[in-house]
A and B are shown apart, each in its own frame.
Chain A
Amino acid sequence: MARPSRFGDKAFEWLTLAMALTVVVLVVLIGWQLWRGSTLAIQKFGFHFLTTSTWDPVAEQFGALPFIYGTLVSSLIALLIAVPLGIATAAYLTELAPLWIRQPLVSLIEMLAAIPSVILGLWGIFVMIPWLRDYPFPFLKRFFGWIPLFSGPIYGPCMFAGGIIIAIMILPIITSVSREILRSVPDLQREAAYALGATRWEATRIAVLSYAKKGLFGAVILGLGRALGETMAVTMVIGNTPQIAASLFKPGYTLASVIANEFTEATTDMYLQALFEVGLVLFGTTILVNLLAQLLLRTIAVKSATRAVQ
């Protein structure tokens, strides 16, 4: 019998390899394209780009500090809201909830994740902001107005609103990754706690949550990565003013939203270059944050797997 030709096998393997290697090509391509698009700006402004806060397209002076500040503050607000809620929900879904309610809740959270950003932004402009402006914001101002964070006039679109909308955007990912991590905690942990007479909450706190601490941290960092890059919904509610203000009721601006808003208006080369550099900063930051998250999550998965075997 004739040996079958190996050509088909080799060709198919090489074809699939080439396709798999596109991920490498894409990472390199993004980095190279952003770098190439911003060389002039990098040469002209150097490190000052990150530390100055003048954003004046007419005078061709560009400093990205207000955007970096806005991105960090809005992401921080988002994490402060989303982390406790997300982890508590994850604990509810894996440890505390009645069994019949778990799957429907998970499906609903997946549906929330599927809502496009622009639709959440639309809802943010016409529903969330008017509500925030009329009820919670005046309340905060009345009782906590002496803290600079909650002082000053209330406009509507502001840093706080941006943070809240980002929180809504990242809640599904924080919740579902945390849930996966809590699920991977070996049942022996729970059984040991219950055997010692722990209540449901005590078992969750001592045996599950503290065991999964590092993985939960990974979930939070993954959420941070998404928060930093969230674009449309934030652009629609944050107010888009390049300023650094103490009050969260003042409008802000983020790295992603300045690109979204000004890219098509960039009339001069240097303006476009500066926006490419903003993109480069955003790309660099999110890649670092994502690397960290992946590393944290990976060591956890490996570790819990080996422990389960033992």
Chain B
Amino acid sequence: MQFERAHNHTWRKIKSGLACGIAFVSAVLVISPLGLVFFYLLVNGAGSVNWDFFTKLPAPVGAVGGGMANAIVGTLELLAFAGVIGIPTGVLGGVYLAEYGSARINSFLRFLADVLNGIPSITWGVVVYGLVVLRFKGFSAYAGGLALGLIMIPLILRTTEEVILLVPNGYREAALALGVSRWKTIVHIVMKTASKGIITGILLALARVGGETAPLLFTAFGNRFWNHSLSQPIAALPLQIFTYAISPYDDWHRQAWAGALVLVTGVFCVNVTVRILTRGRTASVV
């Protein structure tokens, strides 16, 4: 009897250890793609990231060399345009959810924003195609920027709301008690206190849409040359990577790897910046 109980206990201990081991292996498997993707990006891409890559236009088929200067600038232009649409809308909408509105309306709006964050990004491409491209008879930088901007709205709205809710009520009360009007309290006290968090949300949203390809396929469309007008098709880094990756040419594949390395580096830089920003945030009030 005594022996049996001891044996049973050992067995349970072993089982617990095994379960921990399996969970550990799962965790390793989950993050292994990160390491593998990064490793192969460096191996295949690093050799083609050079001065030409950042300064030259794509080379014609068969010609060696060339770069993605137009795609890099194109992505930045698209992000700027998307930001003009997405940032003010998202931030002010988030302010409304955190500062005004009844609990019922707010939970409904929050719900819709979460649902919007979950719909496939290609849907935005189709919608903007119908809205802009069909109407104005052509692919354009406007359409691409609009698609990315619309994706940013619910993302930024939710993060802004969350960080504004973290601002202690005492701040608002102190300002209001001094006779500051409500909107000035919100803009100068509340939003200023939460500014780090708001900027974090904006940066994350920009990093997220900067890597989007699907919404750009039939809005920005891509361009092998410099874009001279926002009403013309424009190149974007993710689009160019896609086109090159599915092409049959080895030289284009090399370019695709290089483009991917540059894009991932950009996205990761933003993420690391954000992490440093938020580390400061936990130390201060918000």
Q: Which residues of A contact B (CB under 8 A)?
A: 4, 8-9, 11-13, 15-17, 19-24, 26-27, 29-30, 33-34, 36-37, 84-86, 88-89, 91-93, 96-97, 105, 107-112, 114-123, 125-127, 168, 171-172, 175, 199-202, 204-205, 222, 225-226, 228-232, 236, 256, 259-260, 263-264, 275-276, 279, 282-283, 286-287, 289-291, 293-294
CA distance A167 to B246 in the complex (A): 21
Q: How many Å from the CB of B61 to the closest CB on chain A?
A: 19
* Chain B residues positioned under 8 Å from A97 (CB to CB): 23-24, 27
* Chain B residues positioned under 8 Å from A20 (CB to CB): 92-94, 96-97, 101, 109, 157
A201-B20 contact given A16-B92, A126-B253, CB 8 Å threshold: yes
Q: How many Å from the CB of B19 to the closest CB on chain A?
A: 4
B113 touches A36 (CB 8 A): no
- Name A23's contact: one of B93, B100, B118, B241 (CB within 8 Å): B93
CA distance A88 to B30 in the complex (A): 10
Q: Which residue of B lies closest to A119 (CB)?
A: B260
CA distance A260 to B210 in the complex (A): 18
| B34 touches A (CB below 8 Å) | yes
Q: How many Å from the CB of A22 to the closest CB on chain B?
A: 6
- Name A91's contact: one of B23, B29, B264 (CB within 8 Å): B23
A96 touches B97 (CB 8 A): no
| B283 touches A (CB below 8 Å) | no
- Name B120's contact: one of A92, A127, A204, A231 (CB within 8 Å): A231
CA distance A34 to B122 in the complex (A): 12
A23 touches B119 (CB 8 A): no
| B192 touches A (CB below 8 Å) | no
A226 touches B118 (CB 8 A): yes
- Name B22's contact: one of A88, A199, A290 (CB within 8 Å): A88
CA distance A92 to B96 in the complex (A): 38
Q: Mask for B56-71, Cβ within 8 A of A = 1, else 0?
A: 0000000000000000
CA distance A250 to B228 in the complex (A): 44
20 contacting pairs across A/B (C-beta < 8 A): A9-B181, A11-B183, A17-B100, A19-B90, A23-B112, A24-B112, A27-B112, A30-B124, A88-B26, A92-B20, A97-B24, A114-B271, A118-B213, A126-B257, A199-B15, A229-B120, A259-B122, A259-B126, A283-B120, A294-B111
* A interface, over-half SS: helix
Interface stretch, picked from B76-84, B166-174, B193-201, B214-222, is B214-222
Q: Which residue of B lies closest to A293 (CB)?
A: B118
Q: How many Å from the CB of A240 to the closest CB on chain B?
A: 10
| B232 touches A (CB below 8 Å) | no
B120 touches A112 (CB 8 A): no
- Name A287's contact: one of B19, B91, B115 (CB within 8 Å): B115
A116 touches B30 (CB 8 A): no
Q: Which of B1-47 contact A (CB under 8 A)?
A: 12-13, 15-16, 18-20, 22-24, 26-27, 29-31, 33-34, 36-37, 40-41, 44
A8 touches B184 (CB 8 A): yes
Q: Which range contains the number of B residues in contact with the other chain? A: 35 or more
* Chain B residues positioned under 8 Å from A112 (CB to CB): 30-31, 33-34
* B interface, over-half SS: helix
* Chain B residues positioned under 8 Å from A12 (CB to CB): 182-183, 186-187
Q: Which residue of A lies closest to B212 (CB)?
A: A116
CA distance A257 to B16 in the complex (A): 43
B23 touches A96 (CB 8 A): yes
B96 touches A19 (CB 8 A): yes
Q: Which residue of A lies closest to B94 (CB)?
A: A20
A236 touches B31 (CB 8 A): no
Q: Which residue of A lies closest to B275 (CB)?
A: A107
| B99 touches A (CB below 8 Å) | yes
CA distance A291 to B88 in the complex (A): 27
CA distance A108 to B36 in the complex (A): 13
Q: How many Å from the CB of B229 to the closest CB on chain A?
A: 20
Q: How many Å from the CB of B129 to the closest CB on chain A?
A: 7
CA distance A117 to B157 in the complex (A): 23
CA distance A7 to B197 in the complex (A): 29
Q: Which of B118-142 contact A (CB under 8 A)?
A: 118-127, 129-131
* Chain B residues positioned under 8 Å from A24 (CB to CB): 109, 112
* Chain A residues positioned under 8 Å from B112 (CB to CB): 23-24, 27
* Chain B residues positioned under 8 Å from A256 (CB to CB): 120, 122, 214
A118 touches B238 (CB 8 A): yes
* Chain A residues positioned under 8 Å from B74 (CB to CB): none
Q: How many Å from the CB of A91 to the closest CB on chain B?
A: 6
CA distance A8 to B24 in the complex (A): 56
- Name B271's contact: one of A96, A110, A171 (CB within 8 Å): A110
CA distance A275 to B157 in the complex (A): 31
CA distance A9 to B179 in the complex (A): 13
A228 touches B182 (CB 8 A): no
* Chain A residues positioned under 8 Å from B245 (CB to CB): 118, 121-122, 125-126, 236
Q: Which residue of B lies closest to A17 (CB)?
A: B96
CA distance A30 to B150 in the complex (A): 11
* Chain A residues positioned under 8 Å from B217 (CB to CB): 260, 263-264
- Name A122's contact: one of B24, B89, B114, B260 (CB within 8 Å): B260
| B189 touches A (CB below 8 Å) | no
- Name B109's contact: one of A23, A199, A225, A290 (CB within 8 Å): A23
- Name A29's contact: one of B90, B113, B122, B127 (CB within 8 Å): B127
Q: How many Å from the CB of A87 to the closest CB on chain B?
A: 8
B34 touches A111 (CB 8 A): yes
B37 touches A16 (CB 8 A): no
